Amino acid sequence: MKVFVCLAVFALVAAAQAETAKEKLRKYSDECKSVSGVSEELLNKVRNHEDVHDPKLDEHGFCILKKAGFMNEAGDILADTIKTKLKENSEHPDTVDALVEKCNEKKDTPQHTASHLFTCLVDKKVHSH
């Protein structure tokens, strides 16, 4: 799974309030490192587009999605929040509802749900500014 690529997509779709989306992503990622136990080395592998499968990356993504308000602690996808934020930042807001519905699939763990959500959004090519 290329979670960091997915995280980059998240950075583009996250609502930017006082901070830019990229700054928020960096802040969330830094805060989540201690929770997930993900190493900088592992993140660098993903940044270099290496195909890395590691439960720590799934935990990292779950942590970031919780901080962004896209998922709750139970691992539920907060679809209305995602739709709102994606519509604010999408080149194609009319397609957001269908996209989120396609990607809104609860898996066996919150971490796998987060991983699936990131992957689905990337696969469906969420384009936003």
pLDDT at 7: 52
pLDDT at 33: 94
Model confidence band, residue 122 (pLDDT cutoffs 50, 70, 90): confident
Residue 129 resides in a domain? no
Q: Is the pTM of this model over 0.95?
A: no
Flag whether pLDDT at 60 surpasses 60. yes
Residue 50 resides in a domain? yes
Flag whether pLDDT at 107 surpasses 80. yes
- The DSSP result for 91-125, as a single string, is S-GGGHHHHHHHH----SSHHHHHHHHHHHHHHTT
* Parent domain of 10: 3-123
CATH (domain of 102): 1.10.238.20
HSE, CB side, 13 Å, CA atoms: give it for residue 108.
0
Residue 128 resides in a domain? no
Residue 40 resides in a domain? yes
For 15-24, what is each residue's pLDDT tens digit? 444 457 678 8
Q: Give the count of domains, the chain.
A: 1
Flag whether pLDDT at 30 surpasses 50. yes
pLDDT at 53: 86
